[in-house]
Structure 1
Amino acid sequence: MNIGEKIKTVREAKKLSQKEISNMVQMDQSQYSKIENGKTDPTTNTLEKITKALGIDLSELFISETIFKDINSADKTIMEKIRLIELLDQKEQASLYTIVDGLVANKRLRDTMSSALSL
């Protein structure tokens, strides 16, 4: 299995599209497709960006193929979302964090009220 095939295997296991990954690494989708299909060899810098977007270490592309059978996409989805949040500017991130904080506070209040009412 070549590097492109390994990248594709990880991407598909995580149920991500080529477009999602190419957007994360700020690369044209057709260029990304060429990497997965082995039509072009990516630079080390490009490989680092791709593996970061996929949530794996660069070294994992060069070790045993059995590692790719153990990918659990359900465990990785939150990491993918965090990577997407990192693409937002600081003001957008602050807004998102404010929303999350509000939702968490609301949940804690509901839990507290529910506990108090059940006494």
Structure 2
Amino acid sequence: MNIGDKIKAVREAKNLSQKEISNMVQMDQSQYSKIENGKTDPTTNTLEKIAKALGIELSELFISDKIFKDINSADKTIMEKIRLIEMLDEKEQASIYNIVDGLVASKRLRNSLSNALSL
């Protein structure tokens, strides 16, 4: 299986379209299609962007085909949200991270109190 085939397999396993991935990596869809079809060899930089958009490590495109058995399409919405957050400026990202940190801290506090009360 060549790189293009692996990219396509991951994309399809995650129920993503070529258009979605090409938009995430800011590439023309026809150029992206050529990569998947093995008609052009992508640069390392392009491969890094594609791997990031697919939510995998770049190295996973070069290892065995085992990766394709482990892909779960359930993480698609989370990855989409992370990509949207990455499009925000630093101040907006910091605000979102502060909200998430606050929610996680609140959850941990509730769990701790619940455990303490059940003793």
Q: What TM-score do the two structures reach when normalised by structure 2?
A: 0.73
Q: Which amino acid aligns with 1:45?
A: N
Report the equivalent of 1:73: 73
Sequence identity (%): 87
Q: Which runs of 5+ in 1 are unaligned?
A: 105-119
1:11 alignment partner AA: R
Question: 1:73, CA displacement in angstroms?
Answer: 1.2
Q: Distance in 1 between matches of 2:76 and 2:28?
A: 24
5+ residue gaps, structure 2, are 104-119
Q: In structure 2, what is the equivalent of residue 59 of structure 1?
A: 59
Deviation at 1:91, TM superposition (A): 6.9
Moved over 3 A (4+): 88-95
Counterpart CA distance in 2 for 1:6 and 1:60 is: 9
Distance in 2 (CA, whole Å) between partners of 1:37 and 1:44 is: 17
The whole-number CA distance in structure 2 between the counterparts of 1:88 and 1:20 is: 18
| Alpha-carbon distance in structure 2 between the residues aligned to 1:89 and 1:30 | 29
Query: What is the number of residues matched between the two proteins?
Result: 101
Q: CA RMSD in A?
A: 2.2
Deviation string, structure 1 residues 65-97 (Cα, Å, up to 9, x no partner): 0211110110343023211221234576578x4
Counterpart Cα distance in 2 of 1:65 and 1:54: 16
